[in-house]
Amino acid sequence: EAGVTQFPSHSVIEKGQTVTLRCDPISGHDNLYWYRRVMGKEIKFLLHFVKESKQDESGMPNNRFLAERTGGTYSTLKVQPAELEDSGVYFCASSQDRFYGYTFGSGTRLTVV
Amino acid sequence: GQNIDQPTEMTATEGAIVQINCTYQTSGFNGLFWYQQHAGEAPTFLSYNVLDGLEEKGRFSSFLSRSKGYSYLLLKELQMKDSASYLCADPGNSGNTPLVFGKGTRLSVIA
């Protein structure tokens, strides 16, 4: 089966610009998660979708971040306007049943300059 | 809380055995995960312990003691390709909470 796909793999944008990250989960996986890893720190939870509904968005840093999952398939994470501290690697993961673990995408490395 | 502690870095020799420890604090418990992450790549699932004891999968084994809030990942017959970060992750205390990751242990395997 195809894995979790994220696009783009890298993005360099200027402070104040907008960036949209995309995640295509494994087909049939209802659970979709966004995580972020800032350099030197742990991977931190941002958001959890179950199908198209936001189950938990307690990790979203602020209202500059907007996540959507239209139709319960792929998800987008938009950062608008981007700030320097938003730089990091954004991982998406999906699972059918979380007790079998998550399958992660390769991540999007976002650099805000 | 879900404080998770792991050593930051470890170095071991090819062919040797290494044990990576993880301690955690959580008000409830639904097991513990271990993930491997090579530089620039996605974390990949290694193991999930829900009961106390040792679970073996080839060269990798994972141990859990719920009463002590302690787990370890044991890697045998180390190979150079085992150089990676090893992350322990806590699924928290309810049915659908997301995984909380430790900072990871960067393992360097040397010849």
- B/e letters for B6-42, b = 16+ CB within 10 Å, e = fewer, are beeebebeeeeebebebbbebeeebbbbbbbbeeeeb
What is residue B1's predicted lDDT score, i.e. its pLDDT? 41
What is residue A100's predicted lDDT score, i.e. its pLDDT? 65
Residue B82 burial (10 A CB sphere; 0-12, 13-18, 19+): buried
Q: Do B43 and A55 touch (CB under 8 A)?
A: no
Please tell me the least confidently modeled range out of A3-7, A22-26, B47-51, B88-92. B88-92
- The shortest CB-CB distance from A45 to any of B4, B30, B98 is to B98
Instruction: Check: CB of residue B108 under 8 Å from CB of residue B18.
Output: no
Q: What is the pLDDT of residues A57-109, one digit of tens each?
A: 999 999 999 999 988 899 999 999 999 999 999 999 999 876 667 899 999 99
Instruction: Check: CB of residue B35 under 8 Å from CB of residue B90.
Output: no
Residue A23 vs residue B28, higher pLDDT: A23
* Amino acid at site B76: K
Q: Phi and psi for A40 in degrees, rounded to 5?
A: 85, 0
Q: What is the pLDDT of residues A38-50, one digit of tens each?
A: 987 889 999 999 9
Instruction: Check: CB of residue A92 under 8 Å from CB of residue A43.
Output: no
With an 8 Å Cβ cutoff, is B43 touching chain A?
yes
CA distance B74 to B21: 9
What is residue A99's predicted lDDT score, i.e. its pLDDT? 64
Cβ-Cβ contacts under 8 Å, B4 against chain A: 42
Residue spans of chain B under pLDDT 50: 1
Distance from CA of B58 to the nearest CA of A (A): 18
Instruction: Check: CB of residue A4 under 8 Å from CB of residue A105.
Output: yes
Best of A26, A43, A45 to substitute, by most chain B Cβ atoms within 10 angstroms, is A43
